Chains A and B, each alone.
Chain A
Amino acid sequence: MSTDQVDYTEKVMDHYENPRNVGLVENANGVGVVGNPTCGDVMKLSIRVEDNHIVDVKFKTFGCGAAIATSSMVTEMVKGKTLEEALAISNKAVAEALGGLPRIKMHCSVLAEDALKAAIDDYLEKQKNQPDQ
């Protein structure tokens, strides 16, 4: 969902000004760090998975207001979800949950989706090598 407006919605501003779940999960068992090839921004997402559920999630983002807001929103959306449910969340769904993003800022929401996938991949990779008891 994108619009031609240049202004951010109230929801974007809210998540930008009061971002939820900033930081690093202390006992994280999945971490994803991705860069945004479009403009060079960076997001780091850490998750704690237990019984196939994301029980904790935190982010750090270097990027524009939209990148920070989508990062914050994605952490809210995945908390408590199963890995399968979390993987089904698209960048479009994140943008929609924020009431839309300016068209030129849609690529920023891809960063959040990629970081989430990278964190889950990292978790699954670690499980393969060293099953978490």
Chain B
Amino acid sequence: MKPIYMDHHATTPLDPAVLQQIMPYLTNHFGNPSSTTHEYGRQARRAVDRAREQVAAFIGAQNSDEIVFTSGATEADNLALKGIALHPSRGKGHLLTLATEHKAILDTVEKLKKQGFSVDFIRIDRDGWMDLDHLQELIRSDTLLISVQAANSEIGTLQPIAEIGKIARERGVPFHTDAVQALGRVPIDVVRDSVDLLSISAHKMYGPKGVGALYVRKGVRLASQIDGGGHERGMRSGTLNVAGIVGLGAACEMAAAEMPAESERLRILRDYLIERIENELDYTTLNGHRVERLPNNANFSFAFVEGESLLLACRDVALSSGSACTSASLQSSYVLKAIGIADSLAHCSIRFGLGKSNTREHVDFVVDLLKKHVVRLREMSPLYEMAKEGIDIDQFNWGEHSHDEH
């Protein structure tokens, strides 16, 4: 049996209807959209133009040429940040972001910092919710960009995008949002929310991998990061990935049509999952904001049970964990760390990412499975035993203890 897929923050399956629209552009319609001297090229150009309109309509952009196609959201994030920071009209200024952003943002600002830019992180609370007053305080005369994700991929916390946009507009600072997780799940409108730059990924909304886009509001000037041929209004050179772009457009159109009903369905399923876990298991913590949260996300810590061993026990369901033992670097989740979750609880965290294929039966199945194995693994956990004896495990320094002994 194939495991039940419940990891939709990592990626989503390609929708068959999207695939159907892509197929001709992988086969017969192979033209280069830049070759407008003949019908092959013009056919491809029409397909790209249509996709550009679908993407623009989906996010409320007024003009379809505000959409710049990229290889995905990582490239879109890089283009937004470096494009703003490195534009010759601007000096080595100041950037504002969150410690819980995607690595495409964090690694990029880290690199810019090394090049002489300054970076501040806007305060977030224990739910990962950002502090708007702190944002106001941090803005300086040389602030070049505010980059705040619309939703977090691990803990599902949404950010007050419209309020951030309003502040940014008032203070005259461009505002970028990585909306990869939020798009197709909560409504976003770049005009209403005063967004200047927005990153999109196709494969998080049932489209193909390897394609995304950056919305660039008219008048926002970016330094290109990939040169050669001047495609995409000079902002991103390279022959267009026509099939991928067609898939992104189709995925946006589908998401726009399905979102209201599907998001509500997922919210009900997710609330049922949370309710069952909280009612039927003790020593659990919901990580992230209880209300301002993606409708398809839940993230729980099951105290005293290490995440990798729990995932192994529940391998009939595809889930992920913020445990150090599941990461190649043996570091626990930086997102959980950033919101002040103790390592001992990050170690026990499991992320649930619901999607179109999931049903109430799936939720019942995963909760029953978890219950069985959490109880079993706690029975063999020395930490559970200590907690029952009243020892505070966070006060106990395991690492050093071990070093001292040997």
Contact = CB atoms under 8 A, between A and B. Distances in A.
B26 interface: no
A44 B308 contact: no
Interface string B325-356: 11010101000000000011001000000000
Given A63-B325, A65-B312, A118-B405, A40 B382 contact: no
Interface stretch (B106-114, B151-159, B395-403): B395-403
Nearest to A17: B313
Contact of B325 (A16, A33, A64): A64
A63 B306 contact: yes
B330 to A, nearest CB: 5
Nearest to B327: A39
A71 B274 CA distance: 33
A117 B402 CA distance: 11
Given A64-B308, A65-B309, A114-B406, A40 B385 contact: no
A114 B398 CA distance: 13
A34 B324 CA distance: 17
B129 interface: no
Interface in B360-406: 379-385, 397-403, 405-406
B240 to A, nearest CB: 35
Nearest to A43: B382
Contacts of A38: 330
A60 B399 contact: no
Contacts of A39: 324-325, 330
Interface of B: 304-306, 308-309, 312, 323-326, 328, 330, 332, 343-344, 347, 379-385, 397-403, 405-406
Interface of A: 8, 16, 19, 22-24, 33-44, 59-65, 67-68, 104, 107-108, 114, 117-118, 121
